[in-house]
Amino acid sequence: MVSGGMTCIKYLLFSFNLLFALSGIAILTVGAIVHIVYSEYSSFLYTSWQYAPIVLILIGVVIFIVAFFGCCGAVKENHCMIITFSVLLFVILTIELAAGIVGYIRRNEVEYMLENKLNSTMYSYYTNEDIKKSWGVAQHEVRCFIYIGLFIKQNLYL
């Protein structure tokens, strides 16, 4: 009876870690796609925000490695791997909670930062080709000029 219950727990742990590994791959993929697709908009971001997709890629790799420890530990019933997995999982949970709290607290700052950066790039529109290209891509993608009201208020015209 006990061995049957342990077998069930073993396969449940393996299944959850497989889902955990797939979520790591998904985060890695999202980071790569964001890095590739939105690299044309780098002129609109402060330098520190341009590294966000790379951070997502690294987080995806770390989650995948932790899930690998969990899968191997469950299949091989290796006590050391399961302990390593548990510690790493606790660290990831703590970091995720901290990141979620910080993200929630600073959500308005991101919008404010983006609006300020977009406005400041307009002053360099005619002198900086990268900014001109980024605005061209943005206008083409959105099919309109979203921030025209902001620029009219500041007497900026394209």
The reply to whether 17 and 88 lie within a common domain is yes
What letter does residue 124 receive in the DSSP assignment? T
Q: pLDDT at residue 21 above 80?
A: yes
The reply to whether 38 and 52 lie within a common domain is yes
For residue 23, give Cα distances in angstroms to 27, 65, 73. Answer: 6, 12, 19
Q: Which domain holds residue 115?
A: 107-158
Secondary element (H or E) of residue 154? none
**pLDDT tens figures, 71-93:** 888 888 888 888 888 888 888 88
The reply to whether 100 and 113 lie within a common domain is no
* Number of domains composing the chain: 2
The reply to whether 154 and 77 lie within a common domain is no
**pLDDT tens figures, 107-148:** 787 777 777 777 777 777 777 777 777 777 666 666 555 554
The reply to whether 101 and 111 lie within a common domain is no
The reply to whether 142 and 89 lie within a common domain is no
The reply to whether 134 and 156 lie within a common domain is yes
For position 43, what pLDDT does the model report?
62
The reply to whether 47 and 118 lie within a common domain is no
The reply to whether 68 and 119 lie within a common domain is no
Give the confidence band of 46 by pLDDT, cuts at 50, 70, 90. Answer: low
The reply to whether 95 and 132 lie within a common domain is no
Task: Output the average pLDDT for the chain.
Answer: 77
pTM confidence score: 0.60
Structure tokens at 72: 């191997």
Distance CA 148, CA 158 (A): 9
Contacts 24+ apart (CB under 8 A), 32-40: 32/57, 40/133, 40/134, 40/137
The reply to whether 129 and 79 lie within a common domain is no
The reply to whether 132 and 151 lie within a common domain is yes
**pLDDT tens figures, 105-116:** 887 877 777 777
